[in-house]
Amino acid sequence: MTEILTLAEAAEMLRLSPAAVRRRIRDGQIAAWNEKGRAGWRIPADALEAYQARHAAGPGEGRITPRSNRSQAARKAAATRAAQRAA
């Protein structure tokens, strides 16, 4: 039988806030249900594993790239300064 987790346990396992997990449930990214007469969401461990597999980043993949730390204007200014130094 599949292990059933609470919202707090799922949030800890995914290293997200409970609100973020609720949003993913609402958006249909994580399968879960809310039983009548019981407080809170019930989330199968299999659903979390499937979510993690779909959203796992491979080696060298991440949400933040070196260029994303700079605005377009900052990149343009740095390129202009580099061109002026090279000339």
Provide the residue ranges of all domains of the chain, joining segments of one domain with +: 1-56
- What's this model's pTM, rounded to 2 decimal places? 0.62
- pLDDT by residue (tens digit) across 39-73? 789 999 999 999 988 887 666 555 555 555 567 77
Which of 87, 4, 78 shows the shortest CA–CA distance to 48? 4
The per-residue DSSP string of 2-64 comes to --EEEHHHHHHHHT--HHHHHHHHHTTSS--B--TTS-S-EEEHHHHHHHHHHT---TT--S-
Structure confidence at residue 18 as a pLDDT band (50, 70, 90): very high
pLDDT range class, residue 19, cuts 50, 70, 90: very high
Q: What confidence tens digit (pLDDT) does each residue in 22-41 have?
A: 999 999 999 999 987 777 89
Report the alpha-carbon distance of residue 42 to residue 87 in Å, rounded. 64
- What is the predicted pLDDT for the residue at 44? 95
